[in-house]
Amino acid sequence: MIIGFLGTGAISEAIIRGLCEESGYQGPILVTQRSVERSSRLAHDYPQVEVIDNNNALVERSEWVFLGVLPEQVTEVLNALTFRPEQKLISLAAGISLAQIQALAPPCDQVIRAIPMPPIEFGLGPVALCPTDTPLEAFFSRIGTAVSVSDEQQFNLFGATSALMADYFDQIATVTTWMASHGMDSSTAARYTTALYHALSALTTKQSPDALQMMSEQCQTPGGLNEQFLIERAERGANDSLRDGLDQILTRLESVARNSR
């Protein structure tokens, strides 16, 4: 199978590197020259990557086409292309609905939205898909955890949750800086903090939904350190702020979807 990437941004690069480095993918990969530096680097690093200087030529040769351009570029890019009914078009463009993509890419009716996360480069993290598509789930499961829904409103929940990434990194950086402010070598602090967060995150992936709800309680002993810290955060409204922030992002995504109809 030949796969092609229209737009070679950071996420497209992460997918390609994940496929080549983590899954041993050997199929041909076509990329556009939209980012000359990045596309040239990928072609240099992986022999199966070929740079194509024409979008139409890439679509003509590809069986699966990944749309990795900015949302405001989608209409212009797709209007200039001709698709085939049997092709699969996977949109990585945030906020552009399935109906919009389908209207811009006839007669292709196999359109799927996807939200890969940067750690996919290392074979880690979720890939949200809508609608459910078994071959595409299998494809992304080689380099991450494919999670799909067929309801586009539910897909927005994945989009909102993906906004936690910057906050997560900021929390780790804050803890590391706090340790360093108390005299610890910054490298030592970073090594401990990143290992702690990595281990705790890995532990959650082994839990059932019900067990996940009990993990915080199981860490606490009456009068213990974990209980003290959690109570302090709760009193300051940490969880309320988390839920409110997610609600605001979801409202923004739903507003974009409504306005694009």
Determine the pLDDT at residue 33. Answer: 83
pLDDT in tens, 179-203: 999 999 999 999 999 999 999 999 9
Q: For residue 21, what is the DSSP state? A: I
Give the start-to-end residue ranges of the domains of the chain.
3-150, 164-258
Rounded Cα distance, 158 and 61, in Å: 31
> pLDDT-based confidence at 260, cuts 50/70/90?
low
For the domain spanning 164-258, the CATH number is 1.10.3730
Instruction: Place domain 3-150 in its CATH homologous superfamily.
Output: NAD(P)-binding Rossmann-like Domain (3.40.50.720)
pLDDT in tens, 99-136: 999 999 999 989 999 999 999 999 999 999 999 999 99
**Residue 111, SS3 per DSSP:** strand
pTM, 2 dp: 0.89
Which class for 145: exposed (0-12), middle (13-18), buried (19 or more C-beta within 10 A)? middle
Mean pLDDT to the nearest integer, 8-35: 93
Mean pLDDT to the nearest integer, 20-46: 92
pLDDT in tens, 209-255: 999 999 999 999 999 999 999 999 999 999 999 999 999 999 998 88
Rounded Cα distance, 199 and 208, in Å: 17
pLDDT in tens, 63-111: 999 999 999 999 999 999 999 999 999 999 988 999 999 999 999 989 9
Which class for 184: exposed (0-12), middle (13-18), buried (19 or more C-beta within 10 A)? middle
